[in-house]
């Protein structure tokens, strides 16, 4: 950048960028764009270097060494900040594949960031896939009675991105129903009834939750097992990240309104 100080600078830990500081700099950018509209929003050469040459003659001294970024630059910076946040919140997969031996009769166990608990004592992990059961060739969670559920072991809220669920062995009916309840971030519970088959079905949800519960008392399971696998979770987006992203979108809208033609 030839020694120029960027108007919008995001630290490597941009996810924690102070929103007020971003907003202030976007306002500053807006003012400068009004002062030098032909340099910032000219039809070609919107790069930093071009803008500096075109507007140089009329600039106050204290601005001559500072490049004038376009609002598109601001948008890019805001999106970059959001992207940095996303990369710090990579999705986590809980697939139970770390278990090399089957077990059942547990009240609770831990896998990855999640703690699973059951009120029936039938909770466990199946390794092989007996006949007539959902099978993806890898270990998966099983439970057959009452209800079970999971939450993060550290107590943090999370986004439930997706999970695979089906009927495992010891079930003769072609389908069965389970009710899934999601304890939502901010309060309240959302429930739905899923129809299980003898294959795993994948459900994408994207819900911000504190815990998830599976009610197996419908009766349609007939004493059979529910099979659960490939739970994908991610962190709940931080308000600061979304705020900076929203500011970027607002800046993009302003740029489009100002662009001639
Ligand atoms: Ca698995």
Question: What would the pLDDT profile of 58-101 be if each residue is shown by its tens digit?
Answer: 444 444 444 555 666 655 565 555 555 554 568 999 999 999 99
**CA 204 – CA 244 distance, rounded (Å):** 27
Tokens 């004592």 correspond to 121
Higher-confidence residue of 218 and 261: namely 218
CA of 125 to the centre of ligand 1 (A): 9
CA 68 to chain CA mean position, Å? 34
CA of 147 to the centre of ligand 1 (A): 20
CA of 1 to the centre of ligand 1 (A): 49
Pick the range with the lowest mean pLDDT from 66-70, 129-133, 209-213, 257-261. 66-70
Higher-confidence residue of 205 and 253: namely 205
CA of 139 to the centre of ligand 1 (A): 4
CA of 95 to the centre of ligand 1 (A): 4
CA of 204 to the centre of ligand 1 (A): 17
In this predicted model, what pLDDT tens digit does every residue of 135-170 receive, in sequence order? 899 999 999 889 999 999 999 999 999 999 999 876
CA of 108 to the centre of ligand 1 (A): 18
CA of 191 to the centre of ligand 1 (A): 25
**CA 170 – CA 212 distance, rounded (Å):** 24
Residue 209 has phi, psi (to 5 degrees) of -135, 165
Pick the range with the lowest mean pLDDT from 78-92, 105-119, 237-251. 78-92
Tell me, what's the pLDDT at 128?
Answer: 75
CA of 144 to the centre of ligand 1 (A): 18
CA of 231 to the centre of ligand 1 (A): 9
C-alpha distances in angstroms, 93 versus 102, 147, 227, 233, 234?
20, 22, 16, 7, 9
Query: Of the CATH numbers 3.90.1710.10, 1.20.1250.20, 3.40.50.10490, 2.60.120.260, which one belongs to the domain with range 92-234?
Result: 2.60.120.260
* Torsion of Cα atoms, 248 then 249 then 250 then 255, to 10°: 90
In the chain, where the domains are located: 14-89+239-258, 92-234
**CA 141 – CA 91 distance, rounded (Å):** 20
CA of 185 to the centre of ligand 1 (A): 27
Pick the range with the lowest mean pLDDT from 23-27, 102-106, 122-126. 23-27
CA of 229 to the centre of ligand 1 (A): 5
Tell me, what's the pLDDT at 179?
Answer: 96
Mean pLDDT for the chain? 75
In this predicted model, what pLDDT tens digit does every residue of 21-71 receive, in sequence order? 544 554 444 444 444 444 443 344 343 434 344 444 444 444 444 455 566
CA of 242 to the centre of ligand 1 (A): 33
Which of 224, 239, 225 minimizes the C-alpha distance to 85? Answer: 239
End-to-end Cα distance, the chain: 31
In this predicted model, what pLDDT tens digit does every residue of 171-214 receive, in sequence order? 677 889 999 999 999 999 999 999 999 999 999 999 999 999 99
């Amino acid at each position: 950048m030839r020694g120029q100080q960027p108007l919008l600078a995001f630290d490597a830990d941009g996810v924690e960028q102070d929103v007020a500081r971003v907003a202030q700099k976007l306002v500053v950018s807006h003012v400068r764009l009004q002062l030098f509209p032909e340099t910032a929003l000219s039809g070609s050469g919107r790069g930093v270097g071009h803008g500096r040459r075109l507007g140089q003659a009329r600039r106050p001294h204290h601005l001559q060494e500072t490049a004038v970024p376009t609002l598109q630059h601001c948008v890019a910076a805001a999106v970059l900040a959001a992207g940095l946040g996303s990369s710090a919140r990579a999705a986590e997969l809980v697939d139970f594949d770390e278990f090399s031996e089957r077990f059942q009769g547990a009240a609770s166990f831990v896998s990855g960031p999640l703690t699973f608990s059951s009120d029936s004592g039938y909770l466990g992990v199946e390794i092989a896939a007996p006949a007539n059961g959902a099978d993806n060739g890898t270990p998966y969670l099983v439970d057959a009675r009452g209800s079970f559920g999971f939450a993060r072991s550290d107590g943090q809220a999370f986004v439930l991105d997706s999970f695979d669920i089906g009927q495992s062995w010891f079930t003769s009916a072609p389908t069965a129903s389970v009710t899934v309840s999601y304890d939502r971030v901010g309060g309240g519970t959302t429930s739905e009834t899923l129809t299980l088959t003898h294959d795993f079905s994948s459900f994408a949800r994207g819900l911000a939750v504190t815990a998830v519960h599976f009610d197996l008392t419908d009766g349609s399971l007939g004493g059979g097992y529910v099979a659960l696998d490939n739970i994908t979770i991610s962190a709940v987006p931080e308000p600061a990240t979304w705020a900076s992203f929203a500011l970027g979108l607002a800046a993009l809208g302003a740029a489009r309104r100002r662009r001639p033609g």
